[in-house]
Structure 1
Amino acid sequence: MKHLFFFLLTLLGASAAQAQGVLTFEKELHDFGQVPEGTMATHEFRFKNTGNQPVMIADVQASCGCTTPDWTKTPILPGKSGIVKAVYSSAGRPGIFNKTVTVTSNAATASAVLTIKGNVLNKEQMKSKLTPAQLAQSPRLTLDRATHDFGKMEAGQSLTARFKITNTGKQDLVLGAISSPCYCVGYKNVPSPIRPGQSATVELVYSQRKLGMQQEAVTITSNDLSGDAQLTLSAFVLKDLNAGSMVKESTTSVPFK
């Protein structure tokens, strides 16, 4: 009887050990090849839970700040699939890159390492490697306008400007990083690739603490080989919009509008 008890205990322990989720990735390495500088190189690593228990991804850590990860945040049931997305910002980073993303979960193998690599070329390098026919097939970024005036705003306030971007080229247009001397402009949401002939509304968030009339030159990078998009944001920045009914502009006090 004693031997039977230990046999059953061992059997239950073995069954418990086998009752685990398993993350099986389609591949653990993605090579982007040649990447135009300024684009956000994005890849989704797809996986399936081939185990017999749900899997929950606890965290995903990139090996550098230039890579932004995202992942399926709901429990992945046995037989179901999910993704781990890696986004590499190539702006200002020409040359070969090799970065890792570490996935931590409650799966049988608690840690999995995914790798992205490629070679970032500036636009002149990209153009030199393409034939005239290939250049003609490249994407083209067209803005509906080049300026936006916010009017009066309070220092530190975040306002949103919406621009319509049309891809007049023949390949997907991928928007990259935004740069400005003030470091006060960014995307509200990372835009998705824009198909040829299609348009998308891109929202830019502006937050400025300097007072007075401000003008910001903004550059939007992309995989458009003809060049980056340039636009200007302007605003009259006040310390406090609710300070009173009189605002001093220049040397003359005028009623607040």
Structure 2
Amino acid sequence: MKKFTAVCVLLMSIAFFSCKENASSKVNTSNLESAKERDAVINLGSAIIEFDKTEYDFGEVTEGDLVEGSFEVTNTGKVDLIITSAKATCGCTVPDWPKEAIKPGESGEIKFTFNSRGRVGKQSKSITLKTNTEKVTETVRIKGTVIKNS
């Protein structure tokens, strides 16, 4: 019991004496400035992405044709729009997106190529974008019909 009491007294002494220094003197002022800048950007809100269309209908194509198309995106928010990735539902569709930030009020283009080889019939593919918008993920669709090559 004496050991327990001695340990408690020691711990309380350490806690009491370690709090002598003023906590505000430990604050790094450059961190405060960085936090103020970060908070100002956060208060502007998220980037807002608007599409010229969310669905691209390529109509009818013959099996083996390559379909190329695009979606125009506009940043209507107050901060830069960043698209970190674009993934299609299958390997037959390959997206290409702007790797640099899209400034507020500016536009960019999401391009894609769809390879119809071995894809006879109605087709519906999605491209999912990872962004810094409030929703984080945005989706556009590609659809059409592939006619068998005779």
Q: Distance in 1 between matches of 2:128 and 2:106?
A: 21
Aligned counterpart, 1:245: none
Secondary structure at the aligned position of 1:83 is classed as strand
Does 1:95 find its partner at 2:90? no
Q: Distance in 2 between matches of 1:35 and 1:16?
A: 46
Aligned letter for 1:117? K
Aligned counterpart, 1:179: none
Paired positions, count: 112
**More strand as a share of residues:** 1
Aligned counterpart, 1:21: 47
Deviation, 1:16, is 3.5
Larger radius of gyration: 2
Q: Distance in 1 between matches of 2:43 and 2:54?
A: 26
Deviation, 1:15, is 8.5
**More helix as a share of residues:** 2
Higher relative contact order (CA closer than 8 Å, sequence separation 6+): 2
Does 1:36 find its partner at 2:62? yes
1:162-218 CA distance string (max 9 Å, x none): xxxxxxxxxxxxxxxxxxxxxxxxxxxxxxxxxxxxxxxxxxxxxxxxxxxxxxxxx
Pick the aligned partner of 1:112 from 138, 141, 150. Answer: 138
Q: Distance in 2 between matches of 1:92 and 1:20?
A: 41
Task: Tell me, yes or no, if the aligned pair for 1:100 and 1:114 is still in contact at 8 Å.
Answer: yes
Task: Tell me, yes or no, if the aligned pair for 1:33 and 1:119 is still in contact at 8 Å.
Answer: yes
Pick the aligned partner of 2:72 from 37, 40, 46. Answer: 46
Unmatched 5+ stretches in structure 2: 1-38
Instruction: Report sequence identity in percent.
Output: 36
Task: Tell me, yes or no, if the aligned pair for 2:41 and 2:79 is still in contact at 8 Å.
Answer: no
Secondary structure at the aligned position of 2:90 is classed as coil
Deviation, 1:113, is 0.7
Does 1:57 find its partner at 2:83? yes
Provide closer, same or farther for how the CA distance between residues 38 and 59 of structure 1 changes in structure 2, counting only shifts above 3 A: same
1:211-242 CA distance string (max 9 Å, x none): xxxxxxxxxxxxxxxxxxxxxxxxxxxxxxxx
Deviation, 1:33, is 0.8
Task: Tell me, yes or no, if the aligned pair for 1:19 and 1:52 is still in contact at 8 Å.
Answer: yes
Aligned counterpart, 1:80: 106
Secondary structure at the aligned position of 2:114 is classed as strand
Secondary structure at the aligned position of 2:108 is classed as strand
Length-normalised TM-score, structure 1:
0.41
Unmatched 5+ stretches in structure 1: 1-12, 125-257
Q: Distance in 2 between matches of 1:108 and 1:82?
A: 19
